[in-house]
Amino acid sequence: MGLTAQEHDDIDRANASGRPCIVLVRGLWLLSSSWDRWRAVYEAAGYATIAPGWPDDPATVEEARAHPEVFTDKMVGEVTDHYVEAVAALSGRPALVGHSFGGLVVQKLAAQGVSAATVAIVPAPFRGVLPVPVSSLRSSAAVVGNPANLHRAVTLTFEQYRYGWANALEEDEARALYDEFHVAAAGVPIFQAVAANLNPFSETKLDVAAPDRGPLLIVSGEKDHTIPHAVAHAAFVRQRRNPSPTEFVELAGRGHSLTIDHGWREVADTALQFVRTHLVAGAGVAAEA
């Protein structure tokens, strides 16, 4: 499935604006509407934004919950190709911001030389990232603990969500986020990530030496159970071999829900500061103050 009519409309609007564009890439268990507050902030700061979904994404959380089967079998390669198509339709090189598996996707896109600046927020590991902390194992067990989930869409229980996503939050906020944002997700990308270091042909493979990768910021959350410090920092260590600037920042007290919880603005501003530094030069277009 190609880009939707809404995605084409967003791209046309971004191109017509003449502004540098920021592309936002969701991870698992969210829809792209989870970026709506970020888009408002970035557009007020003088940027155009687009937030394409993954292939076949429903338009709303309600529709996603009614038809979770649409998420089944969405592999990393297919998802990346979908965003390649979206980025190719833009009139200039954008900045890319991705969360979790979206953080892996934006790094894969950057390695293709299509990004003026890239921010990978608690990114899922690529092949060659070796640490496997106990909390990551426990978080991924919600999917890989049942081999049948390879070809299923998986909805987390609240207890699983609380451990993997919302462990840094009070229970009331965790419950509110679960009720507002949580949708099913394809199981297969988790299996791809878990098996990556055993598979030389893994779709999570990344060319960390790509000469046109551009500036990259990796953002870690201090209390993240799903992508703990050891995983995010190992990705940074691999990526800093690249000739382009590579930075790492860890946000204190933050868990995997950091893009949607009460502290989302801190994360959005951290990404924007990096983008503002690099996107103007990379795109050749000045953003408004």
d(CA 277, CA 164): 32
Q: What is the structure's pLDDT at 279?
A: 81
- For the chain, give the number of residues: 289
DSSP 3-state assignment of 240?
A: coil
Q: What is the structure's pLDDT at 280?
A: 66
Kindly state the DSSP code that residue 68 receives in the 8-state scheme.
G
Using a 10 angstrom Cβ sphere, with 0-12 exposed, 13-18 middle and 19 or more buried, the burial of residue 27 is buried
- Domains of the chain plus CATH, in order, are 5-283 (3.40.50.1820)
Q: What is the structure's pLDDT at 129?
A: 96
The stretches in the chain having pLDDT less than 50 are 281-289
What confidence tens digit (pLDDT) does each residue in 204-229 have?
Answer: 999 999 999 999 999 999 999 999 99
Q: What is the structure's pLDDT at 171?
A: 98
d(CA 238, CA 196): 15
Q: How far is CA 97 from CA 132, 171, 225, in A?
A: 24, 28, 21
How many C-beta atoms lie closer than 10 Å to residue 178's C-beta?
19
d(CA 102, CA 96): 10
Q: What is the structure's pLDDT at 87?
A: 98
